């Protein structure tokens, strides 16, 4: 019975997280941390991955790049073991975005391309489009405007 209560609590925390992501910055982080704790306690790698991904996104969103990178690396380890390719793609996408902010464009492009590789065969068009927008933005920074336009067009077709 205790396991069932914990499971419903885990599911509720996940629903709560989806409701506060990007809308309430403080509650977003707290809810993701609670989800991570519950998922770890329940040994739910899927929910743990979702919590880590959310924490990585939150940390990036508030410009805490070091924490974001740490969450991404932990997420990558978990996802490689469990085969969660969409989360692997998102982690690599975030790392690419971190590297852009750190003016390491060449390495950033490698992570964006790796993210796209993880999405091969996936129907996650929103994430794929987002990655192409990030690549286009990167080309804009490098003043390679033709390549930027080409990537924006790909992103638009996907989305």
Q: Which residues have a Cβ under 8 Å from the Cβ of 32 and sit 6 or more positions away? A: 17, 51, 54, 55, 58
pLDDT tens-digit series, residues 75-88? 999 999 999 999 99
Rounded to an integer, what distance in angstroms lies between the CA atom of residue 48 and that of residue 33? 10
Asked whether the predicted pLDDT for residue 1 surpasses 50, the reply is no
Asked whether the predicted pLDDT for residue 2 surpasses 60, the reply is no
- Which of 19-23, 67-71, 91-95 shows the lowest mean pLDDT across its residues? 19-23
pLDDT tens-digit series, residues 30-39? 999 999 999 9
Q: pLDDT band for position 58 (50/70/90)?
A: very high
**Given this model, what pLDDT does residue 159 score?**
82
- DSSP class of residue 4? H
Mean pLDDT of 88-101: 98
Asked whether the predicted pLDDT for residue 4 surpasses 50, the reply is no
Average pLDDT, the chain: 94
Asked whether the predicted pLDDT for residue 7 surpasses 80, the reply is no
Rounded to an integer, what distance in angstroms lies between the CA atom of residue 25 and that of residue 38? 20
Rounded to an integer, what distance in angstroms lies between the CA atom of residue 134 and that of residue 124? 16
Q: Which residues have a Cβ under 8 Å from the Cβ of 143 and sit 6 or more positions away? A: none
Rounded to an integer, what distance in angstroms lies between the CA atom of residue 50 and that of residue 105? 27
If one compares 3 and 24, the residue with the highest pLDDT of the two is: 24
Q: How far is CA 79 from CA 6, 50, 52, 57, 107, in A?
A: 23, 10, 10, 16, 21
- Residue 94 backbone zone (phi > 0: left; psi -120 to 50: alpha; other: beta): alpha
**Given this model, what pLDDT does residue 5 score?**
47
Q: 52 near 78, Cβ under 8 Å?
A: yes
Asked whether the predicted pLDDT for residue 104 surpasses 90, the reply is yes
pTM of this prediction exceeds 0.75: yes
**Given this model, what pLDDT does residue 6 score?**
54
């Amino acid at each position: 019975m205790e396991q069932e209560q914990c499971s419903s609590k885990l599911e509720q925390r996940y629903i709560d997280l989806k409701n506060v992501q990007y809308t309430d910055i403080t509650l977003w982080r707290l809810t993701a941390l609670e989800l991570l704790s519950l998922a770890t306690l329940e040994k739910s790698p899927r929910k743990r991955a979702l919590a880590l991904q959310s924490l990585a996104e939150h940390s990036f969103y508030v410009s805490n790049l070091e924490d974001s990178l740490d969450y991404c690396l932990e997420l990558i380890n978990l996802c490689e073991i469990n085969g969660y390719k969409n989360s692997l793609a998102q982690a690599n996408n975030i790392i690419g975005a971190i590297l852009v902010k750190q003016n390491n464009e060449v390495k950033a492009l490698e992570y964006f391309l790796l993210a796209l590789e993880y999405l091969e065969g996936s129907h996650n068009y929103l994430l794929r489009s987002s990655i192409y927008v990030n690549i286009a933005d990167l080309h804009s920074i490098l003043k390679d405007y033709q390549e930027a336009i080409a990537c924006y067009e790909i992103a638009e077709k996907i989305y």
